[in-house]
Amino acid sequence: MQMNGSSSSLGPGGLDLAQSFFKPIQNGAPPSTTKRHTKISVVGVGNVGMAIAQTILTQDLADELALMDAKPDMLRGEMLDLQHAAAFLPRTKISASADYSVTVGSDLCIVTAGARQIPGESRLNLLQRNVALLSDIIPPLAKHSPDSILLIVSNPVDLLTYVSWKLSGFPTNRVIGSGTNLDSSRFRFLIADHLDVNAQDVQAYIVGEHGDSSVALWSSISIGGVPVLSFLEKQQIAYEKHTLENIHKEVINSAYEVINLKGYTSWAIGYSVANLARSLLRDQRKIHPVSVFAKGFYGIDCGDVFLSLPAHLGRGGVLGVTNIHLTDEEVEKLRKSAETILEVQNQLGF
């Protein structure tokens, strides 16, 4: 079932009114064959998927947006709701279907679909259900858009990014997880709030697992170009380590708090993923802490694992990983985070 946008064939017998309405100029050349069309597909139109889709539209990041979901009625409703805002948005073709053919030719495929945890269900059982779900999603996406970049948002994101890499057969640079990009934004917000500065002037990263074993890179935090910890030491300003740890714990608990209060997270992850889409498709060459193939970086050699590292992103996907100086303690925590992910990953049979 295909549910596309508007058509210019509205006249009698399917007459193309666009050709009747507009008269071409004389001696004109046909359009350039150079590809300038950008297409993004979003798989899963729940709260997260639609927050991402809405942010992509308002930020004018795509010429075409394709929505895909297994629930056709909700899918059509979401498509129509977005199409009806056309007069207030940049021109974007919006299509929707429960058939993966709607995603054909995508430059970026964003996967948000995932099973919800049943009360009393173990995390491993939930993970296995999500792996089964991705087994139905990733192969047809890869088939219809073999040159696309896969951006996985479904949780647990590091493990599911690894699974998506295996299922797609894509090179490692074109499979990315949203990882700790949002965690790092929360981190920057909390630091900025403590110091009463703009969060955009705070350079700070959370790396490792998108979860409890994540690592806050305190040693590399800077504000307005000033390294924070070395500044405090030079000024002989005392600080307590547990204060820093409490800020990190607040980052980890932030999503749980939002979920407890409103039932789900949506807006922040929508902005986070749209931010990644901009860097990738517009070749911004920005550094983002996202889930990437981490083997060989920072002494991580325990196996094929995806976790968040400060990655250089552009039109080719992951262009490289930033060589940030880490303390011995941070390196050890990062390795343990990798081992935590691998411990569960090894139970999947991939």
> Is residue 280 situated within a structural domain?
yes
Which of 93, 127, 329, 323 has its CA nearest to residue 229?
329
Whether residues 186 and 171 share a domain: the answer is no
Whether residues 318 and 208 share a domain: the answer is yes
Whether residues 223 and 300 share a domain: the answer is yes
Question: Which tokens in the block code for residue 126?
Answer: 């939930």
What was the pLDDT predicted at 118?
A: 73
Whether residues 343 and 197 share a domain: the answer is yes
* CATH number of the domain to which 275 belongs: 3.90.110.10
**Bridge partners, 215 (sequence order):** 207
Residue 324, domain extent:
180-347
> 37, 194, 210, 325: which one is catalytic?
210
What was the pLDDT predicted at 242?
A: 79
Per-residue model confidence as pLDDT tens for the chain (350 residues):
456 655 555 555 556 666 667 667 767 777 666 667 999 999 999 999 999 999 999 999 999 999 999 999 999 999 999 999 999 999 999 999 999 999 999 999 999 998 876 777 766 788 999 999 999 999 999 999 999 999 999 999 999 999 999 999 999 999 999 999 999 999 999 999 988 999 999 999 999 999 889 999 998 999 998 888 788 778 777 666 777 888 899 998 998 899 899 988 999 999 999 999 999 999 999 999 999 999 999 989 888 999 999 999 999 999 999 999 999 999 999 999 999 999 999 988 77
* Domains: count for the chain: 2
Whether residues 250 and 335 share a domain: the answer is yes
Point out the domain boundary residue: 177, 210, 245.
177
Point out the domain boundary residue: 177, 199, 228.
177
* CATH number of the domain to which 62 belongs: 3.40.50.720
| Cβ–Cβ under 8 Å, residues 89 and 108 | no
Q: Residue ranges for the binding site?
A: 44-49, 69, 130, 153-155
Which H or E run contains 109? strand 108-111
What was the pLDDT predicted at 317?
A: 96
What was the pLDDT predicted at 16?
A: 65
What was the pLDDT predicted at 142?
A: 97
The distance from CA 4 to its chain's CA centroid, rounded to whole angstroms, is: 25
| Residues 324, 196: Cα–Cα separation, whole Å | 26
What was the pLDDT predicted at 14?
A: 57
Q: Residue ranges for the binding site for NAD(+)?
A: 44-49, 69, 130, 153-155
C-alpha separations of 304 from 96, 163, 345 in Å: 35, 11, 10
What was the pLDDT predicted at 77?
A: 96
Whether residues 205 and 124 share a domain: the answer is no
Point out the domain boundary residue: 177, 198, 222.
177
| Residues 295, 309: Cα–Cα separation, whole Å | 11
| Residues 192, 212: Cα–Cα separation, whole Å | 22
Instruction: Give the 3-state secondary structure of residue 152.
Output: strand
> Is residue 26 situated within a structural domain?
no
| Residue 288 annotated as catalytic | no
Whether residues 152 and 191 share a domain: the answer is no
Collect all residues with Cβ–Cβ distance below 8 Å to 243 and sequence separation of at least 6: none
Whether residues 185 and 113 share a domain: the answer is no
> Is residue 7 situated within a structural domain?
no
